[in-house]
Structure 1
Amino acid sequence: MFYENITTCEECDFVNSIPPLRRGERFRCQRCAHVLVNVHKHVSVRIMGSGLSALLMLAMSLSFPFLGFSSNGIERTVSLFDTLSVLLSQGYLVLSILLSLALFVFPVVYLLAILFLVWSFQHQYVLKFVQRYCVRWLLVIEPWLMVDVFLVGILVALVKMSSLADISLELSFWAFCGYVILLLKTMVLVDKRWLWNKVAGRSAEHSALAMTAKKQGLIGCHFCGATLSGHATHCNRCGHSVYSRRPRSINTTVALLVASLVMYIPANVFPIMQTTFLGSTEPSTIMGGVLLLWSLGSYPVALIILFASVVIPIAKVLSLGWLCWQSRYPSRRLTKQKITLYRLTELVGRWSMIDVFVVAILTSLVQMGNFMSILPGPAVLSFTAVIVLTMLAAMAFDPRLLWDKDDVTGASLEGGEE
């Protein structure tokens, strides 16, 4: 496994010299400690094994009953497909599309793409541009894989319904758990620099110093990590457009944050779920569901919903807003602390989808006419929009701007001391 001699960190723009790495080792950026290279043992064989096993587990989870529901002598079993079909039959087309993309389409495309790539590395006749597009799709799709969030949503839904009915875990549920674990294992094994080196070879070498690429008249490709000359507009290895700093990063991030705040109002004012019991329909907001769980004694689940659906979206908006402010008017706070906040913001953003998945699961499971049924409320789409917009805002923010301001602030402080 051969890597280029230097690579540029996509988070701080620092040009790192890559030392010889053995299998099982990882290399972090010398400036911000961001993981740049992971060298896994027997990576191709392990990816093929975990990827094929994940697809097998997915096929099994779609072939058998998933959950069972029993209340007052009325029994019902549902499959994973029922989660989508019930939403479609009730007219929730957008929600069913989002659910199918996050749970089935994106994961399957991801697994098939990485399996094809690993297979193609042993067959030189495969066209290089096909491999390039596969790697691009892998990197674009990866942040939107939410099967682990859906699994936690299932557990939360089961706790919510435990006081009203008997819930049984069917065969497909355990197959789905295996599918989630194997998919996460496959994602851990995938290293983007390893992929680009296998597909397009090592990037052109430059004589570079241990400082930012911008200061040396170079540009680091944030998509594959290659280091390019300062006048480049497209990476000569991955073909992606390159720029020293992401154009209009702050403006785009702020616009997305404002849009998410606008959508956050109806997401909390209107009901996210409507429960019908013995002919009487009772709407439930996000906070209403949290308070109900707390009153029933389900304190851990209530706290999970509170943090995922209320605290995290607001914390993301405040954190990204503060980071945008710091990129323009930096304080003396250490930039590494700001980068840690940015990484946490990116990491926890998708977990807010738990409440949306809970509503989708309960909708497919509890459909017994006027006796008992659950339907999504008008706040579901608004809340989903909040999550998507905050995730896009985190992707639009360029953390390298924080380091630029840190360099300027550090230089002015040194000049003042002199």
Structure 2
Amino acid sequence: MSHAVFHENITTCEECDFINEIPPLKSGERFRCQHCGHVLVSAHKHVGARIMGVSLSSLLMLALAMSFPFLGFSSNGIGRSVTLFNTLSVLLSQGYLVLGALISLALFVFPLIYLLSVLFLIWSFNHPNTLNFAQRYCLRWITVIQPWLMVDVFLVGVLVALVKMNSLADISFELSFWAFCGYVLLLLKTVTLVDKRWFWNQVAGKSPEHSVIAATAKKQGLIGCLFCGATLSGDAKHCDRCGHSVYSRRPKSIGSTVALLIASLVMYVPANVFPIMQTTFLGSTEPSTIMGGVLLLWSLGSYPVALIILLASVVIPLAKVLALSWLCWQSYFPGRKQTAQKIKLYRITELVGRWSMIDVFVVAILTSLVQMGNFMSILPGPAVLSFTSVIVLTMLAAMTFDPRLLWDKDEARSSAPLKRGKE
């Protein structure tokens, strides 16, 4: 007979501020917010052993992916093979330090910190004498880093780059490519198994108990911690369980979001006007903008890839700016749309934002792969950093936006007395 693997009295939803009473959860069960439907806790079966096995396997695949050639390139009898390290070394040798740093963070630094932190936490659960502050720091790193893991986006970028070069050269998948595919799948599986509330429950025990009703924390004079889900008294400044700063609503949320959106719009213009890539063939250099690359792929008959680049690099960044701008407006002047629909829009903007990095990864891959002097070479264009800034700024804008403000307006509107018509 299965027993409960997660014990928690109450938790506050980070999206709607609703306080939920959590029943003891058994393996394989999932608990959603009773107000907005957001998944709060996932109690996976044999979660500790599964995370340990998948994380170690992911690290092994990463080691293999970095040990052998990644891709092969040949044109007119001239060929070369590159490793994952070449993606960084070529960018750094050409003076693209910022782009190289971003690639290294997305592919190596952040995933390594994430996996090692997860492994340390699982190991520490079986060793009670482990320093508790080390557990807390690792758990904080996991929460912060997770949205910036982009290995799956890089893999799609590799496939797009190969389609772009298919008409000019022969591309071959080397041994490390298949190891990298395994690394991506295993890392994504690790992310799905990691549940922040379950981890904090293991590290710091249950959250403080309160006598609550089925309503928002703010309405009851309480505060929900966004980091661990604990429910605290209204005058708390820091969470008693995880130590993170707490606030009833994110300070200056709308102002920060709007400022980031304006900055992203400013950078969106040069990102689409200036060339994102410069191709040299037989001594002649030809610049290519984002839309130029889309049109080229379309003319070559690569319709699916052209649509992917169009959506990821042109439509999604602009749509995300418009969506977040509309949500900020709705936080002050709510329309007739139900708040649940607005929250779905907010979740979509968070989900798709990082996929705009596909074009940046495509440029990085082609730069490392195609370096044959005046015969053929590819270098990043001036629009690369502008476009990367657009992606980072829109992701930060989504993070600074507080969706609980939408529910506040909805609650205020529903509790307002109805105006009597003329008799």
Calculate the TM-score normalised by the size of structure 2.
0.98
Post-superposition shift, 1:72? 0.3
Equivalence for 2:11? 7
Structure 1: how far apart are the matches of 2:153 and 2:384?
A: 16
- C-alpha contact (below 8 Å) 1:102/1:147 kept by paired residues: yes
The one-letter code sitting in structure 2 at the alignment partner of 1:146 is M
Post-superposition shift, 1:159? 0.4
The one-letter code sitting in structure 2 at the alignment partner of 1:184 is L
Equivalence for 1:19? 23
- The C-alpha deviation readout for 1:81-115, integer Å capped at 9, x for no partner, is 00000001111000000000000000000000000
The one-letter code sitting in structure 2 at the alignment partner of 1:358 is V
Equivalence for 1:28? 32
Post-superposition shift, 1:4? 1.6
- C-alpha contact (below 8 Å) 1:268/1:286 kept by paired residues: yes
Instruction: Map 1:163-242 onto structure 2 (within 5 A).
Output: 163-242=167-246
Structure 2 counterpart of 1:69, from 41, 66, 73: 73
2:20 partner SS: strand
Structure 2: how far apart are the matches of 1:417 and 1:233?
A: 43
What RMSD in Å do the two structures reach over aligned CA positions?
A: 0.8
- C-alpha contact (below 8 Å) 2:6/2:26 kept by paired residues: no
Instruction: Map 1:242-391 onto structure 2 (within 5 A).
Output: 242-391=246-395
- CA change 1:417–1:402 in 2 (3 A) is farther
- C-alpha contact (below 8 Å) 2:161/2:362 kept by paired residues: yes
Question: Number of matched residues?
Answer: 417
Is 1:130 paired with 2:139?
no
Structure 2: how far apart are the matches of 1:229 and 1:124?
A: 29
Post-superposition shift, 1:417? 6.6
Post-superposition shift, 1:411? 1.8
Structure 1: how far apart are the matches of 2:418 and 2:215?
A: 19
Structure 1: how far apart are the matches of 2:52 and 2:321?
A: 39
Equivalence for 1:47? 51
Post-superposition shift, 1:187? 0.5
The one-letter code sitting in structure 1 at the alignment partner of 2:139 is V
Structure 2 counterpart of 1:104, from 81, 87, 108: 108
- C-alpha contact (below 8 Å) 2:208/2:232 kept by paired residues: yes
Structure 1: how far apart are the matches of 2:197 and 2:96?
A: 40
- C-alpha contact (below 8 Å) 2:207/2:241 kept by paired residues: yes
Post-superposition shift, 1:416? 3.1
Post-superposition shift, 1:2? 3.1
2:26 partner SS: coil
2:210 partner SS: coil
Post-superposition shift, 1:20? 2.4
Post-superposition shift, 1:408? 1.0
Structure 2 counterpart of 1:38, from 33, 37, 42: 42
Calculate the TM-score normalised by the size of structure 1.
0.99
Runs of 4+ in 1 over 2 A off after TM superposition: 414-418
Equivalence for 1:415? 418
Structure 2: how far apart are the matches of 1:411 and 1:209?
A: 17
Q: Sequence identity, in percent? A: 79
- C-alpha contact (below 8 Å) 1:54/1:182 kept by paired residues: yes
- C-alpha contact (below 8 Å) 2:6/2:25 kept by paired residues: no
- C-alpha contact (below 8 Å) 1:4/1:205 kept by paired residues: no
1:331 partner SS: coil
Structure 1: how far apart are the matches of 2:112 and 2:418?
A: 55
Post-superposition shift, 1:189? 0.3
Is 1:158 paired with 2:198?
no
The one-letter code sitting in structure 2 at the alignment partner of 1:353 is M
Structure 2: how far apart are the matches of 1:14 and 1:388?
A: 30
